[in-house]
Amino acid sequence: MSQRVNLDLKKELFLYGAKEWNQCFQCGNCTATCHTTENGFFFPRKTVRQVLMGLKKSLQTNIDPWLCTYCGDCSRTCPRDANPAEMMMSIRRYLISVYDWTGISKLFYKSKTLEVTSIIVLSIIVMVLYLIYTTFPSGDSSQWIGPDGGALINKMAPWQTIHLGDWLMAGALVFLVITNIFYMWYKIIYDDKSLKVGFIDYLKPFSKLVKLINPDVKYAKCDEKKLTTYWVLHAFLALSYGTLFAIIVFFLDWFQTDTVYPFLHPQRILGYIATIGLTVGIIYFYTNRTLKNMENSKYSHFTDWTFLILLFFTTLTGILLHVFRIYGLPQLTYVTYMLHLMVLVPMLVIEVPFSKWSHMIYRPFALYFAHLKKMVIEKSKTIPHQPQYN
């Protein structure tokens, strides 16, 4: 069956950061240079072609953009300056909005104003809730003030209350993320009638897991040598972020204590290391994006900046909160705590299911689905190792 060409697909992708990159003449240089190319995956040439041709259906079920590590080799060596790597990134953003069944993602990508307004509105809601459910450490009420003169945080904003909010939020996020992943699975695996996937097949990709989660091995083949630093810092950032996220959602009672522990206490050490991870990461990515000194930082969509800015303010308020707490400034601690929540919550609620952050979830799943698909295709082949031409 012939697929009807969608003449507006390319324009649609402009929302997600693509530009007038029409130059591609399908030379295949990018495929040759791409370190993720394997038999059957015409990386990223085929994907670029789908965009230029307006093959919307093919593009929506395409998994390749998630496999791209954004090393930039293809863009650097493309003879027509067609920016295949950034095209892949734009398609990722597009796919995030495709997987998001609520359609909210798309609205955010479409409109900067809407995203910013939502962040502000959410911040205000958080502020109002905070003001209602917590109490200001006024001078006379000595019960707010600890022996060191600092705020007794759990009196001011009891961890139980915060936890409740956390759980509600995490629940909603998990629900959205799971349903989106399900939709992704539906589009990529289930809807592809040519694939016959048995239950056992779903277990097979795990055998390759180690290889899947170690992109550093793959970067070794790339031209860009700065990528190792990039990968290490990216991993450090993600790990720090993940750690803090887990602590806040699951171990807030251990983390948010009224007693100020000595400097070398695990609570403080862990906090400091994660904070360093975030700070170094933010500075590194900020400089990269402003200096545009690597292929993968040449183009920045506004959602890339939003994420970075929210992360920056979350970290900054987190650090200040800690400082004010330690140096016994209860009123400032109270305000900073509020500000911290005011950036943290929108960052999680908007970025996790609907925007940049979600790549942290989609990418592992995409790798998993891609390998699943590949293994199933290989299994069904009568002639082994023949490349797939469509």
Partner 1 sequence: MEEKRIGVYVCWCGTNIAAMVDVEKVASGLKELPDIVVSKDYKYMCSDPGQDMIIQDIKNHNLNRIVVAACSPRMHEITFRKALENAGLNPYMFEMANIREHDSWVHTNRAEATRKARDLIAGAVSKVKWHESLEKRSVPVNPATLIIGGGIAGISAALELANAGKQVYLIERKALLGGTVSALDLTSPFLNSARQMIDHKIKEVMDHRLIKVYLNSEVEQIFGYVGNFETTIRYNKRETRLNFGNVIVATGLKPFDASRVTNYGYGRLPNVITALEFEQVLKDGVILTRDGREPKNVAIIHCVGSRNEDYNPYCSRTCCMVALKFVNQLKSALPKATIIDIYSDMRSFGKGCEELYSDTSKKNVMFLTFDHKADLPQIRQASYDDPCNLIIEFKEKFSGEPIEVPADMVILMVGMEAHENAKQVAHGVGISMCGNRFFIERHPKLDPVATTTDGVYVVGTCQSPKDIPDSVSQARAAAARILATILAGSVSIEVTTAEVNEKICCGCQTCIKVCPYSAISYSQEKKVSAVNEIICKGCGTCGSTCPTGAIKSKHFTDIQILSQIEGLMSLQEVY
CB 10 within 8 Å of CB 85:
no
CB of 58 to partner 1, least distance (A): 7
**Site string (21-50) toward ligand SF4, x via CB under 6 A:** ---xxxxxxx--xx-x------xxx--x--
**CA dist., res. 222 & res. 68, Å (int):** 12
**Helices (H), ranges, 38-111:** 45-53, 56-60, 64-67, 73-77, 84-99, 104-110
Q: How many residues lie near ligand SF4 (CB under 6 A)? A: 28
Half-sphere exposure of 274 (CA within 13 A, CB side): 24
215 binds ligand SF4 (CB under 6 A): no
Residue span 47-76 as binding mask against partner 1, x where in contact by CB under 8 A, dash where not: --xx-xxxx--x------------------
For the bound state, the minimum distance from the C-beta of residue 53 to partner 1, rounded and expressed in Å, comes to 6
- By the 8 A CB rule, do 359 and 96 touch? yes
State which of residues 34, 35, 43, 46 lies at the interface with partner 1 (CB under 8 A): 46
CA 245 – CA 85 distance, rounded (Å): 30
10 binds, among partner 1, ligand SF4, none (CB under 5 to 8 A by kind): partner 1
Q: For the beta carbon of residue 136, count every other beta carbon within 10 angstroms.
A: 13
Residue 386 contacts partner 1 per CB under 8 A? no
Note whether 205 binds ligand SF4 by CB under 6 A. Answer: no
377 touches partner 1 by CB under 8 A: no
| The one segment of 1-9, 162-170, 282-290, 295-303 that binds partner 1 by CB under 8 A | 1-9
Any idea what the Cα angle at residue 119 is, between residues 117 and 122, rounded to 5°?
105
DSSP state of 5: P
Distance CA 180, CA 97 (A): 10
Q: How many residues bind partner 1 (CB under 8 A)?
A: 25
Residue 52 partner contact from ligand SF4, partner 1, none using kind-dependent CB cut-offs of 5 to 8 Å? partner 1
Considering the rule CB under 6 A, would residue 78 count as an interface residue with ligand SF4? yes
Nearer Cβ to ligand SF4, position 29 or 118? 29
CB 52 within 8 A of CB 24: yes
Q: Does 74 bind ligand SF4 (CB under 6 A)?
A: yes
The answer to whether residue 69 forms part of the interface with ligand SF4 (CB under 6 A) is yes
User: Rounded to the nearest 5°, which phi and psi values hold at 39?
Assistant: -50, 130
- The set of residues, in sequence order, having a beta carbon less than 8 Å from that of 73 and lying 6+ positions away, is 33, 34, 35, 85, 222, 223, 224, 295
Binds 2, which of ligand SF4, partner 1, none (CB < 5 to 8 A, cut-off by type)? partner 1
Q: Point out which residues bind partner 1 (CB under 8 A).
A: 1-5, 7-8, 10-11, 20, 22-23, 25-26, 46, 49-50, 52-55, 58, 80, 389-390
